């Protein structure tokens, strides 16, 4: 039996990103992912914007409501997907749990704008027996999972040294890469500010920072979103070099190998190994791992507690900027 899904929020990640893209090639939104996935059934959506509601109905021919309370008069789905603005997450979770007990909630990242509110969301879900997941998409990509496997199996030898380029704020986009680094390298242990940088949109800091993790150290530096989006990770190890580029559209591994001309020296291989990725269907990958988590199988989807750890890391960074 399929799991019924309600989608709350018809913005970019909820509905719009892949609206005009080929459905057999690109799955960038919750709407498309849960309408395509064989184990889920999208039953309705919620958004206060009438134009978005009309466009959603035209596209999916499903009920769409202006408020969550109105939707819950007719539907009690097992999965609630919250893709509304961050400041509304707690209100929407509280409203859901006050109405009924779904099987799970998938919330957009970050879980909340502050640690205390995120902690309350997690506590409320635990008390009601509702599984909570957060939509950090990268950790469900097969290439990212393969990198973690190599680190765990010591094929990519730790400790590592790395550099991350990010844009559009440490909270908005930087949190994606903090969560990715925590998935690969373990909890954040230390923060050192190299430059305070500026505020993106007058609210989201863009510092240059040095971060210490259990499995290595990484420098995160900001670029200029208004000029171009640029999101990359480079990890250096005694075993070679990993390059995560074009927002995760490519992952290359260059192993340490003997210099072909001077064999007494070692270099990184000039012919990279291409690690398979699937970022053109990232939201479908999340749905796949959500299904695994719901049936008790190993899954890479980000839990509420792991998302809280990322939010605590962001908070620690912002506190260091003061």
**Digit-coded pLDDT (tens) for 127-144:** 999 999 999 999 999 999
Q: Is 200 in the same domain as 257?
A: yes
CATH of the domain at 82: 3.40.50.720
Q: Is 126 in the same domain as 178?
A: no
Q: Is 47 in the same domain as 99?
A: yes
Q: Is 189 in the same domain as 216?
A: yes
Q: Is 169 in the same domain as 223?
A: yes
In the chain, the N- to C-terminal Cα span, in Å, equals 52
Whether 172 contacts 179, CB under 8 Å: no
Of 9, 16, 109, residue with least CA distance to 67: 9
Identify whether 228 is part of a domain: yes
Percent of the chain at pLDDT > 70 equals: 100
Q: Is 158 in the same domain as 257?
A: yes
CA distance 15 to 251: 27
Domain endpoint, select from 137, 156, 177: 137
Whether 268 contacts 255, CB under 8 Å: yes
The C-alpha angle 203, 206, 208, rounded to 5 degrees, equals: 155
Q: Is residue 280 reached through a cis peptide bond, with omega within 30 degrees of 0 on the bond before it?
A: no
Q: Is 130 in the same domain as 147?
A: no
Identify whether 322 is part of a domain: no
Percent of the chain at pLDDT > 90 equals: 96
Q: Residue 229: what are its φ and ψ, rounded to 5°? A: -85, 135
> Is the pLDDT at 157 greater than 90, yes or no?
yes
Q: What is the pLDDT of residue 263?
A: 83
Identify whether 320 is part of a domain: no
What's the whole-model pTM score?
0.95
Write down the H helix ranges in the chain: 30-36, 50-60, 68-72, 89-99, 115-128, 142-152, 174-185, 282-294, 304-321
CATH of the domain at 184: 3.30.360.10
Q: Is 70 in the same domain as 105?
A: yes
8-state DSSP, 85: -
For the stretch 273-311, what's the b/e string if a residue is b when 16 or more beta carbons lie within 10 angstroms of its beta carbon? eebebbbebbbbbbbbbbbbbbeeeebbbbebebbbbbb
Q: Is 196 in the same domain as 94?
A: no
Identify whether 293 is part of a domain: no
Q: Is 173 in the same domain as 242?
A: yes
Q: What is the pLDDT of residue 265?
A: 93
Please name the residues in contact with 261: beta carbons below 8 A apart, sequence gap of 6 or more: none
Domain endpoint, select from 246, 262, 277: 277
Identify whether 24 is part of a domain: yes
Q: Which structural domain, as residue segments, surrounds residue 69?
A: 3-137
Domain endpoint, select from 137, 158, 177: 137
Residue-by-residue DSSP string for 12-64: IIIIITTTTS-TTT---SHHHHHHH-TTEEEEEEE-S-HHHHHHHHHHH---E
Q: Is 261 in the same domain as 149?
A: yes
Which tokens in the block code for residue 242? 């990993």
Identify whether 294 is part of a domain: no
> Is the pLDDT at 120 greater than 90, yes or no?
yes
Give the pLDDT mean for 71-79.
97
Identify whether 35 is part of a domain: yes
Q: Is 273 in the same domain as 159?
A: yes
Q: What is the pLDDT of residue 269?
A: 93
Identify whether 105 is part of a domain: yes
CA distance 238 to 226: 36
Q: How many domains does the chain have?
A: 2
- 14-43, pLDDT tens digit by residue? 999 999 999 999 999 999 999 999 999 999
């Amino acid at each position: 039996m399929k799991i019924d899904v309600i989608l709350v929020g018809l913005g970019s990640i909820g509905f719009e990103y892949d609206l005009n893209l080929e459905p057999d090639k690109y799955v960038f939104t919750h709407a498309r992912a849960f309408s395509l996935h064989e184990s889920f059934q999208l039953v309705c959506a919620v958004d206060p914007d009438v134009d978005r509601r009309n466009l959603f109905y035209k596209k999916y021919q499903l009920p769409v409501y202006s408020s969550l309370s109105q939707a819950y008069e007719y539907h009690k789905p097992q999965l609630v997907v919250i893709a509304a603005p961050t400041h509304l997450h707690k209100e929407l979770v509280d409203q859901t749990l006050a109405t009924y007990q779904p099987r799970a909630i998938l919330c957009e990242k970050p879980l909340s704008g502050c640690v205390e509110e995120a902690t309350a969301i997690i506590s409320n879900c635990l008390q009601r027996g509702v599984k909570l997941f957060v939509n950090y998409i990268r950790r469900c990509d097969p290439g990212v999972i393969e990198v973690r496997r190599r680190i765990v199996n010591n094929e990519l030898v730790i400790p590592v040294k790395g550099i991350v380029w990010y844009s559009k704020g440490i909270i908005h986009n930087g949190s994606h890469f903090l969560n990715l680094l925590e998935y690969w390298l373990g909890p954040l242990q230390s923060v050192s500010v190299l430059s305070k940088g500026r505020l993106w949109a007058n609210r989201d800091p863009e510092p240059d920072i040095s971060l210490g993790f259990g499995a290595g150290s990484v420098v995160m530096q900001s670029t200029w979103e208004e000029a171009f989006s640029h999101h990359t990770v480079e990890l250096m190890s005694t075993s070679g070099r990993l390059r995560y580029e074009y927002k995760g559209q490519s992952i290359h591994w260059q192993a340490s190998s003997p210099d072909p001309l001077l064999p007494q020296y070692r270099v990184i291989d000039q012919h990279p190994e291409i690690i398979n990725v699937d970022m053109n269907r990232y939201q479908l990958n999340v749905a796949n791992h959500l299904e695994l988590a719901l049936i008790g199988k190993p899954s890479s989807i980000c839990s509420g507690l792991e998302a809280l750890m990322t939010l605590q890391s962001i908070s620690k960074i912002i506190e260091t900027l003061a």
